[in-house]
Chain A
């Protein structure tokens, strides 16, 4: 315990001795100030004391509390914490492990009554402090802003602290392993960013393919619905157009299912940074309030004119022309929400565990 505390304090001192740490803190503070400067009223968006009239963005559409929580999640968490601050944290902490294994430092640490496994893991936990501190400060400030300006005292905001730290831990585990293997901060940083880029691309591809797959399922369901309706009205009606569309949709659905299965399987074994952070939105933003913003379509069969427009890409979601846009979006959202936090975090942590294990083994087996 004493060694763990000593390494945590030492890692904090190491990180805080870097200008990037304070730059990142300052940027967090600036962002929260900007956040506080923006508000919402019955006419539109408020910037300090000026009101910018926006018909679709005012308190009749969105409660001030929801507006702030949405802004906190969209800009604060997704853009700032999960991208920019995370990148700054990686730049700052990429050198932790190369420095740990550098000649002159590692000897004095290994010649202590602490096992190499513990040393590696304690240093890793220490490295996570950077992000945890940044996020905690940002969340505390945002909590006050949302409470004072939005009137919603939302302690759920602090869920961003473990989730963003978790998100960062997936990348930092890779960075630690690469830093131990290469003994170079630059190599560790570049390879980690590449790994991050790969995860992002994989997640985006899977999300897109899955959305198209879900949309096609909705499309087939919608066609079936319209076939039934036409037959109820007139059993001898010509449904060849719908049957053709259905078979084309079924064919596309088969290909999408195969592509999605491959992507999903690959994604399952890898960390899911994007989805981990997205859990914050799932937990703090009330989706019901947002869904009401989208205008509801009727469930009638679309006219030829509407179909033509949708085929040109207008008013359709993910290539579906027969299904209602709101149904498709709802189905995509349902599909996303069906993935449990346990699955997202559990599988990600399993991969992180493997990276840490490899790092520990590499560190333990090496002569210095």
Chain B
């Protein structure tokens, strides 16, 4: 409703887009994906997923992160009926997981997808639309628009077999979007795409979010995910080891760093977490960590340092990068070494 209000106050095309987005959100008042439990054990009792559960809200970009072999692709494939689960409870667009009907409103670009080399880009996208039940006229209209959108407008009638990897990826993206999906699953979408293409894909994802669609991004390119994801889940050994809004997760390890030059021996300062550490670049400096992003929490420490004739060199706020979060999540808390990512017996 908030989005509808915002849309109503806008004008022209922006208002139109906002209204369409609001309508789409109204249609899916429930979670886009609501996983109560997904479990997958392969023959030989190898368990790829252990009772995974999470929720993806409509209109957000959700990143499923994890090292290779953690079970990310298996999870997506279970949602899309490509892999049969041992147990699956939950819903996709309000329908039970595994029900084919929901897939008419889902787009999917798998990792290392293969478009038929004998088809032209136009035929490949239209074929994808026909399988999703998009009517002929609509299919043709969308195919043209989407191929223009992904930058293949001049290559519509060329065979996919002669495309570069990046071009195939763009064509695959157009094929995934042809049914005007409410959820788009992307497995390493920028793989093989040049930097300009990557930015275009990121912009497209943001645009889809603004239209009220849900994007489920499966990636191990953390810098990419960090730029676009609203929420993330980190999967390791078939379990969700961390999940939440990206901003909140980053705030968990956030704080301020007060860099001080002490005239003599360094002292502990009030409001700081433990004794100072020596600065990595300059051994004459010491770093005091304040476990808060609020500048007022740093004032007692600054006052105490100044009172002791120390020189305040800098005060910087520090947010945890997604990569740090990720490394922390996939490492042994005792040894700090990465845990094995994959399935277990």
Contact = CB atoms under 8 A, between A and B. Distances in A.
Interface stretch (B12-20, B129-137, B194-202, B213-221): B129-137
Nearest to A119: B131
Interface stretch (A80-88, A101-109, A314-322, A338-346): A101-109
B114 A115 contact: no
Contact of B113 (A6, A17, A108, A367): A108
B118 A17 contact: yes
A5 B135 CA distance: 12
Contacts of A105: 113-114, 116
B223 interface: no
Contacts of B175: 108
SS class, residues of chain A in contact with chain B = helix
A194 to B, nearest CB: 29
Contact of A113 (B42, B113, B127, B132): B132
Interface in A1-33: 2-3, 5-7, 9-10, 13-14, 17
B110 A104 contact: yes
B82 A111 contact: yes
A14 B131 contact: no
Contacts of A6: 127, 130-131
Interface string B140-178: 000000000000000000000000000000001001000
Contacts of A17: 118
A2 B133 contact: yes
A111 B119 contact: no
Contacts of A3: 130-131, 133
Contact of A367 (B83, B118, B127): B83
Contacts of A104: 110, 112-114
17 contacts: A2-B133, A3-B130, A3-B131, A6-B127, A9-B127, A13-B118, A13-B119, A103-B114, A105-B114, A108-B110, A110-B82, A111-B81, A111-B108, A113-B100, A113-B132, A114-B100, A368-B82
Closest 9 CB pairs of A and B: A6-B130, A104-B114, A17-B118, A111-B80, A107-B110, A112-B131, A111-B108, A113-B104, A367-B83
Interface of B: 42, 77, 80-84, 100-104, 106, 108, 110, 112-114, 116, 118-119, 123, 127-128, 130-133, 135, 172, 175, 185
